[in-house]
Amino acid sequence: MPLCNHKNMSGNAKLLHENLWESDPELMDLIRKEKKRQVHGLEMIASENFTSLSVLQCLGSCLHNKYSEGLPGQRYYGGNEFIDEIELLAQKRALEAYRLNPEEWGCNVQPYSGSPANFAVYTGLIEPHGRIMGLDLPDGGHLTHGFMTATKKISATSIFFESMPYKVDPVTGLIDYDKLEESAKNFKPKIIIAGISCYSRCLDYKRFRQIADANGAFLFADMAHISGLVAAGVIPSPFEYADVVSTTTHKSLRGPRAGVIFFRKGVRSVKPNGDKVMYDLEAKINQAVFPGIQGGPHNHAIAGIATCMLQARTPEFKDYQTQIIRNAQALCKGLLERGYSISTGGTDVHLVLVDLRPAGITGARAEYVLEEISIACNKNTVPGDKSALNPSGIRLGTPALTTRGLVESDMTHVVDFIDRGLKLSKEITAVSGPKLVDFKRVLHEDPTLNAKVQALKEEVQTYSAKFPMPGYEEF
């Protein structure tokens, strides 16, 4: 609320105290349109979620105003008495959310997001041009795990470090751990990354650990997508085996757009003579985050981390994570029954990767037509794809739908909407031909096809609007 009546204020004071809808109605109108889109659509992008009101309140708080470079008790600015307490609380709650002993684990809650968090890990653990191995992007890995093509280094990770990908079996879609082990023996990486952005099965962290130990490598688990599931204990945890674990906090964890790095402390190994080899990761990672990569931390986001980690310890959060998996499996079952091909044949987690090659549909056309009927997903590579720019599949996730209260029975309706949308894409392609630009033109300009798209869109929007949306009422 304004501190006083801004009608009697000076010009500058008026600027400072006006509501957004008063000072910038053009922007407010766009925000309201986006809120309407979210409420009236089915959000199925696996890396998105709808955060809680308490997290949004942190993000819009006075904490945004404060500069606090450095760590609690070691700041480069004054005035951080309460900022220090908030960051320490976020660290404490992050360890508690994953049931970690503070004598064995520490964490840094300052990363702005997942990508800088991962780059900080590499920067702290290995020298430039040090060797890393991660799951290849077309096989379900992430850009920050070292993705490059035959002609170009795409990710900064591949520019500054030497990367060799490991792959999935092209038939089963499952990670080929035997080939990973063989490649690691030859490549001798300093870091092996156990992490995914589009792989629908639980990872075998024990096997990763064995391969890392055989090559003297650090095991780095990137649990960005599955961190909520891990916190709830509904899938295996990487913490038993990993040296370092990173995560975003805005995906299944349902917090602010930020990142966290967890690192081992204490004894790393014992030599044959009994001497202990201690972990020295804390200072390396903290210094890599700041001053190595980032400047002042986003204190409003750190407060959001603190409150989402508190939520992650509740029975309700565990129920929510359990429902995410149930919904994903119901979605998967429904798509299989409609004749669609699912990479790996199913899912253990929050996402489903649909291989559209047997259906004769490209990922780009599928993504576009689904967006036109108010279902948000993303085109995605499937095992065997040659280009990340022209993928053959779509990735579907259930965290955001589950946040809004959808359950297994609702997935039947969702599957029906998706199926009808994809069948429409084939109708449109039959008229437009193979080019995406022509596909988009025909979708909008052919009166019969556009009418079908609009009718299905209205069905989806009417259905979606029945479910509640967390956050502020108006925006």
Q: What is the mean pLDDT of residues 384-403?
A: 91
Q: What are phi and psi of 245, to 5 degrees?
A: -130, 130
Task: Give 3 or 168, the one with higher predicted confidence.
Answer: 168
Q: How many helices (H) and strands (E) in the chain?
A: 18, 17
pLDDT in tens, 131-166: 999 999 989 999 999 988 888 888 899 999 999 999
Six token digits for residue 3: 């501190």
Q: What is the mean pLDDT of residues 356-363?
A: 96
Give the right CATH number for 62-312 from 3.10.129.10, 1.10.4080.10, 3.40.640.10, 3.90.600.10.
3.40.640.10
Answer for the pair 252, 229: CB distance below 8 angstroms, yes or no: yes
Kindly tell me if the per-residue pLDDT of 460 is higher than 70.
yes
Q: Is 471 helix (H, G, I), strand (E, B) or coil?
A: coil
Among the listed residues 142, 145, 250, 350, the single catalytic one is: 250
Confidence tier at 6 by pLDDT (50, 70, 90): low
CA–CA distance, 382 with 394 (Å, rounded to integer): 8
Which of 37-46, 195-204, 208-217, 265-274 has the lowest average pLDDT? 265-274
What are the strands, taking DSSP E only, across 28-172?
42-43, 70-71, 74-75, 105-108, 131-133, 162-163
Where in the chain is CATH 3.40.640.10?
A: 62-312
Among the listed residues 198, 308, 332, 377, the single catalytic one is: 198
pLDDT in tens, 88-112: 999 999 999 999 999 999 999 999 9
Is 308 noted as a catalytic residue in this protein? no
Residue type, 400: A
Computed over every residue of the chain, the mean pLDDT equals 95
CA–CA distance, 109 with 260 (Å, rounded to integer): 5
Taking 3-state DSSP, the helix, strand and coil percentages for the chain, each rounded to the nearest 5, stand at: 50, 15, 40
pLDDT in tens, 414-450: 999 999 999 999 999 999 999 999 999 999 999 999 9
Kindly tell me if the per-residue pLDDT of 190 is higher than 60.
yes
Answer for the pair 145, 195: CB distance below 8 angstroms, yes or no: yes
Is 250 noted as a catalytic residue in this protein? yes
Tell me what pLDDT residue 2 has: 47
CA–CA distance, 39 with 306 (Å, rounded to integer): 27
Look-up of token digits 């000076």: 10
Answer for the pair 356, 366: CB distance below 8 angstroms, yes or no: yes
Where in the chain is CATH 3.90.1150.10?
A: 315-465
Confidence tier at 8 by pLDDT (50, 70, 90): low
Q: What are phi and psi of 341, to 5 degrees?
A: -95, 130
Name beta bridge partners: 42: 375
Confidence tier at 284 by pLDDT (50, 70, 90): very high
Tell me what pLDDT residue 4 has: 53
CATH number of 315-465: 3.90.1150.10
pTM value?
Answer: 0.95
